[in-house]
Amino acid sequence: MALTPGTGALAYANAVQAKLGQYYQVSPNGSSSSQFFVIIGLVATLTLLLTAVAGLGVLNTVVLQTRERVHDLGVFKAIGMTPRQTIAMVVCSVAGIGLVAGLIAIPAGILVHHLVLPAMGHAAQTDVPPSVLGVYQPWELVLLALSGLVIAAAGALIPAGWAARTRTAFALRAE
């Protein structure tokens, strides 16, 4: 909790401790708590790992899709498709799905956030203040929705490069 300016944190903690009794422990906590930085580091690490797993999932899907469509790519190359157009076609094939996934995941994530945090607070026999539930700004939600598009495009770049480098003759014989 935040104190009003001019209120001493230690005096306030001692007063609350006296009211609650010996079974509760109250201590002032500064804004530069090491626990806060550990939690933020853990959340950032988990976010990076989830992003990497999502990117690898897209990579796997696009590799399978590209290998399955190698004959079609050979036909497109035979009639004049350039390597840049091949890369654009492969990346665009997953970009729409990534954008839709981001648009579906945002409301689902907010719903889970609004269901899980109060349940956790109830389990701890406390209430969760509204400021804990309303943490996302509209611009953050837009960036999060676009992150699905970015992850999909990034995961598709390696197979798209492979498809662009594949020789037309090899692609046409690949059935």
pLDDT 10s digits, 156-170: 888 888 888 877 766
pLDDT for the residue 20: 85
Q: Cα separation of 102 and 150, whole Å?
A: 10
Q: Cα separation of 95 and 74, whole Å?
A: 22
Structurally, how many domains does the chain consist of?
A: 1
The answer, yes or no, to whether residue 174 has pLDDT greater than 60, is no
In a domain, 116, yes or no: yes
In a domain, 22, yes or no: no
pLDDT for the residue 84: 92
In a domain, 156, yes or no: yes
Q: Cα separation of 130 and 89, whole Å?
A: 45
Q: Cα separation of 140 and 12, whole Å?
A: 36
Contact 54, 149 (CB under 8 A): no
In a domain, 139, yes or no: yes
Q: Domain of 130? A: 55-173
Q: In whole numbers, what is the pLDDT of the chain averaged over residues?
A: 84
In a domain, 2, yes or no: no
* pTM greater than 0.85: no
In a domain, 14, yes or no: no
In a domain, 113, yes or no: yes
pLDDT digits (tens, 9 = 90+) for 5-43: 888 888 888 888 888 887 777 777 765 567 778 888 998
Q: Cα separation of 18 and 15, whole Å?
A: 5
In a domain, 140, yes or no: yes
